[in-house]
Amino acid sequence: MAKKKDGKAFESKFDGSKLRGLIQDGKSASEIMAEFDIKSLQSLRQWVLRLINEDRQFYEVPGLYTRNLKRPQINFKGELRLTANMLSFQDSTYAHGDQFEIDIDNEQITLRRLTNLPESTEEIPDATQDLEEL
């Protein structure tokens, strides 16, 4: 199916036999996208659905329908939300209540754990005693 873009015909790169071969070889979604030079995972989903429709057979492509929960997004309020899944690291020493310093540089946000927090268990002196002595 050709689409018009700026007066020029745009042809799809869909090749059913090549796609079928890659799927049967057990290639992942990212490998197939690299082979066809596809930028969008949604485009690959459409191609696989088209192949399923043509062959009347279900094809399983690893990584085609998995969500990446480690990619935070800004919500409609403009807030950036980080969940525990996004910050979980193997063999991490992070614990509940750890505090972080945030550095923001054009396209990168860096979280740095504050390790030298003062853990003072001393009682705060009563300010009224100092006033009485004056």
Per the domain annotation, does 39 fall within a domain? yes
- Helix (H), strand (E) at residue 103: strand 100-105
From 18, 40, 20, 15, select the one nearest 30 (Cα to Cα). 40
31: containing domain: 2-55
Per the domain annotation, does 126 fall within a domain? no
SS3 category, 26:
coil
Tokens in use for 23?
């799927």
Per the domain annotation, does 48 fall within a domain? yes
Q: What is the pLDDT of residue 62?
A: 92
- Helix (H), strand (E) at residue 132: helix 127-133
Per the domain annotation, does 118 fall within a domain? no
Q: What is the pLDDT of residue 123?
A: 54
Beta strands 8-11; 2-5: pairing state: antiparallel
Q: What is the pLDDT of residue 90?
A: 61
Per the domain annotation, does 35 fall within a domain? yes
Per the domain annotation, does 12 fall within a domain? yes
Q: What is the pLDDT of residue 20?
A: 95
Please tell me the chain's helix, strand, coil percentages from 3-state DSSP, rounded to the nearest 5: 30, 15, 55
Per-residue pLDDT of the chain (134 residues; tens, 9 = 90+): 555 666 666 567 889 999 999 999 999 999 999 999 988 899 999 999 999 999 999 999 998 987 766 667 778 888 877 776 676 666 667 777 778 888 888 888 888 888 765 555 455 555 555 555 54
How close are the terminal C-alpha atoms of the chain, in Å? 90
Q: What is the pLDDT of residue 117?
A: 58
Q: What is the pLDDT of residue 45?
A: 94
Q: What is the pLDDT of residue 88?
A: 67
Per the domain annotation, does 93 fall within a domain? no
Amino acid at 62: P
Q: How many domains does the chain have?
A: 1
